[in-house]
Amino acid sequence: MPTRSDAVALLEEWVESKALRKHMYAVEAAVRHYARLMGEDEELWGLAGLLHDLDWERFPDEHPHRGVARLRELSYPEPVVRAILAHAYPDRSDVAPETPLEKVLYACDELSGLVYACCLVRPNGIDDLKPKSVAKKLKDKAFAAGIHRDAVQRGLELIALDRAVHIQNVIDGMRTVADMLEVRGLDQAARRGNPGP
């Protein structure tokens, strides 16, 4: 099985955009967190999270099929490939999320984007972010309008957890890479040109 550093090298080869890289790392962290909670294979699950949008920048019209073709050439495990196909269901793929990994990846993808957007508008970023604020922004369709609310909703149905619990899990996962995502309170202070405490 390819290692995480193989996957990071592949990501860096295919993805230039810092925002897209952060999104992929955020989803990886959320999916890994779920793997730990569920006693699943964290390395395997992490690969699916990390590489799910591999071809989005280079081949947006063919996403996720160009990335999947490359991953198959590189002998990535089929559960990883299938999960990546299923995250694009139903608009871009006909593989419906069925396995726990497929459901978790689906449920973490758009929601992690919303959590990230919430962090950017809060003085303390992710440090004291609560599910309640994220749920409020989920209802406010004008906020981070690019986040597909219907996909977040479908993810919640798939993962079959209480909404606040799922949001908290995604926050907890993303907190493990908060420095890299630059979503901590101090990062926000730096962004505003304030050196902070």
Stretch touching Fe ion by CB under 5 A, among 47-55, 124-132, 141-149, 175-183: 47-55
| 5 sits in which H/E element | helix 4-14
Pair 31, 46: CB distance under 8 Å:
yes
Q: How far is the CB of 55 from Fe ion (least distance, A)?
A: 9
Should residue 109 be labelled a site residue for Fe ion when binding is judged by CB under 5 A? yes
Q: How far is the CB of 67 from Fe ion (least distance, A)?
A: 9
# binding residues, Fe ion (CB under 5 A): 2
DSSP string across 76-121: --HHHHHHHHHTTTTTT-S----SHHHHHHHHHHHHHHHHHHHHHT
Q: What is the DSSP string of 115-152?
A: HHHHHHTSTTBTTT--HHHHHHHHH-TTTTTTS-HHHH
CA distance 121 to 191: 11
Select the span of 12-20, 109-117, 125-133, 137-145 touching Fe ion (CB under 5 A). 109-117
Least distance from Fe ion to the Cβ atom of residue 13, Å: 18
What's the CA gap between 89 and 126, in Å, rounded?
Answer: 29
Could you say whether residue 28 binds Fe ion (CB under 5 A)? Answer: no
Q: What minimum distance in Å lies between the beta carbon of 88 and Fe ion?
A: 6
Query: Of the listed pieces 49-57, 153-161, 163-171, 178-186, which binds Fe ion according to CB under 5 A?
Result: 49-57
Using only C-alpha atoms, the chain has a radius of gyration, in whole angstroms, of 16
Stretch that binds Fe ion, among 28-36, 104-112, 148-156, 158-166 (CB under 5 A): 104-112
d(CA 91, CA 40): 28
Shortest Cβ 194–Fe ion spacing (Å): 31
Minimum distance of Fe ion from residue 53's CB (angstroms): 4
User: CB 8: neighbour CB atoms within 10 A?
Assistant: 16
Among 7, 34, 48, 53, binds Fe ion (CB under 5 A): 53
Minimum CB distance to Fe ion smaller for 79 or for 124: 79
Binding site for Fe ion (CB under 5 A): 53, 109
